[in-house]
Chain A
């Protein structure tokens, strides 16, 4: 299924590029939900890294995949709490623009 020339380097560069796309989304967007989406993509690329190392470096020991599953669980918890916060903030400010969230400035 996978070409013989594809190795660990390809997966690492791929996941790094995906991480940077997510980082760009998280840094450059104005909508809080778009920032959460960027965070999800970043966590996904970290998971690809973990699974790629568990496939190519410690092939018989699947610790990397176990850690990737823990990352998925933490990401699910994070997106649940994050969206609850967004809904609560939207109720008082009527906005999802991060530039409007300025309680901590004066």
Chain B
């Protein structure tokens, strides 16, 4: 089960990066997000899986498709090309994969053997509204500010100024 979801997610992420058509890239990105939601289900994080589907596969994918539709024109087939430093980027990414794998396998992680809680939503709510209530409010203010900032930045600029 893990291997199916992992290969599905990594494969669609690779196809997203390699695709020359930006709209197909966006569709593969949605598949990647759904695969990540499957990983959350395997990690007994059902609330995170729901958030992932709602926020990433729903809201952020729609946002990005909006951006593509507002900024592309002409031939869609050549809209997502590689830049000049693709070789350096590939080398850095491969090196990062190798270093990360080496370090993960050579570290002694303090793994606990306890059973995961079956109902995560109430535990998350308890933590969020008691211990982490200040970051929760800050995140709310951040979302409000980002909403206002996005509207102001994207608003039509007056020609007279």
A, B from the same assembly:
yes
A binding-site residues for B, Cβ under 8 Å: 1-3, 6-14, 16-25, 27-31, 33-34, 36-38, 40-41, 44, 47-48, 51-52, 54-63, 65-66, 68-70, 72-81, 83-88, 90-91, 96, 98-99
Measured CB to CB, the closest approach of chain A to B93, in angstroms, equals 4
Measured CB to CB, the closest approach of chain A to B152, in angstroms, equals 8
Main secondary structure of the interface of A (DSSP, over half): helix
Measured CB to CB, the closest approach of chain A to B47, in angstroms, equals 7
Pick the contact of B101 from A16, A73, A96 — CB < 8 Å?
A16
The CA of A106 and the CA of B2, in the complex, are separated in Å by 51
Contacts of B142 in A (CB 8 A): 73-74, 77
The answer to whether A80 and B104 touch (CB under 8 A), given A20-B96, A29-B82, A57-B109, is: no
The CA of A25 and the CA of B92, in the complex, are separated in Å by 12
B1-41 CB mask vs A (1 if < 8 Å, else 0) is: 11000100110011011000010011001001100100111
The CA of A84 and the CA of B152, in the complex, are separated in Å by 9
A-B contact count (CB 8 A): 239
The answer to whether A41 and B112 touch (CB under 8 A), given A33-B64, A87-B70, is: no
B45-69 CB mask vs A (1 if < 8 Å, else 0) is: 1011001100110011001101110
The answer to whether A70 and B70 touch (CB under 8 A), given A20-B94, A29-B83, A37-B26, is: no
Contacts of A30 in B (CB 8 A): 80-83
The answer to whether A10 and B123 touch (CB under 8 A), given A20-B100, A33-B71, A76-B60, is: no
A28 and B146 contacting across the interface, CB-CB below 8 Å: no
The CA of A51 and the CA of B56, in the complex, are separated in Å by 16
A69 and B124 contacting across the interface, CB-CB below 8 Å: yes
Measured CB to CB, the closest approach of chain B to A6, in angstroms, equals 5
Measured CB to CB, the closest approach of chain B to A72, in angstroms, equals 5
B26 and A66 contacting across the interface, CB-CB below 8 Å: no
Contacts of B93 in A (CB 8 A): 20-21, 23-24, 27
Pick the contact of A57 from B80, B96, B111, B145 — CB < 8 Å?
B111
The CA of A7 and the CA of B38, in the complex, are separated in Å by 16
A83 and B67 contacting across the interface, CB-CB below 8 Å: yes
A81 and B150 contacting across the interface, CB-CB below 8 Å: yes
The CA of A30 and the CA of B20, in the complex, are separated in Å by 11
B10 and A24 contacting across the interface, CB-CB below 8 Å: no
The answer to whether A60 and B117 touch (CB under 8 A), given A23-B96, A79-B63, A96-B72, is: yes
Pick the contact of A73 from B44, B85, B143 — CB < 8 Å?
B143
